[in-house]
């Protein structure tokens, strides 16, 4: 992961193991994570142009991971708290702790369901396989969060196709 280079990905600079913990060192992002600009009455609210800029950045980063790098990288945890904002409020996808790599043209070998509840695609919950399509589903949930500025509300009693429901007024 340390070899990934794209303007819309947070670059991993290094890591350290200390007392059983793994510490990751990333590029400094002065504006922190996107979720602080969306939820819980933020001090600064992003306008539509800024939100669209963030969305385009995350989309470009995902496209690089899925199509342009030497292997396919499935992020498996696309969400607002994993999108960091640089000094110009450009969105950069980070936190590759759940990411999996596989060769182009092969099937992913993941069998465990991981990710954030509320952004999991139905096929991922049924098969356990994380694919670029499951990342795209999570990106769709991310789009709704950015557009609405609200966290998803969950419905546990019925199969709704991905566990993610937005109740918009």
Catalytic residues: 77
What are the backbone dihedrals phi and psi of residue 15, each rounded to the nearest 5 degrees, phi first? -150, 165
Q: Residue by residue, what is the 3-state secondary structure of 146-169? A: HHHCCCCECCCCCCCCCCCECCCC
- Round to whole Å and give the CA distance between 164 and 169: 16
| Measured CA angle at 153 (ends 89, 80), to 5 deg | 20
Distances (CA, A) of 117 to 20, 36, 89, 113, 121: 27, 19, 27, 10, 10
């Amino acid at each position: 992961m340390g070899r990934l280079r794209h303007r819309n990905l947070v670059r991993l600079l290094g890591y350290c193991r200390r007392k059983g913990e793994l510490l990751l060192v990333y590029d400094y992002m002065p504006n922190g994570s996107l979720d602080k600009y969306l939820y819980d009455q933020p001090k600064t609210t992003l306008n539509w142009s800024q939100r669209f800029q963030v969305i385009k950045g995350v989309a470009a980063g995902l496209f690089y991971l899925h199509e342009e790098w030497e292997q396919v990288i499935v992020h498996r945890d696309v969400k607002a708290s994993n999108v960091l904002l640089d000094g110009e409020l450009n969105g950069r996808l980070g936190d590759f702790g759940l990411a999996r790599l596989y060769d182009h043209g092969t099937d992913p070998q993941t069998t465990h369901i991981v990710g954030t509840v509320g952004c999991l695609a139905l096929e991922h919950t049924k098969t356990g396989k994380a694919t670029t399509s499951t990342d795209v589903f999570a990106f769709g949930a991310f789009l709704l969060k950015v557009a609405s500025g609200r966290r998803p509300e969950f419905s546990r009693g019925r199969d709704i196709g991905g566990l993610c429901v937005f109740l918009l007024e």
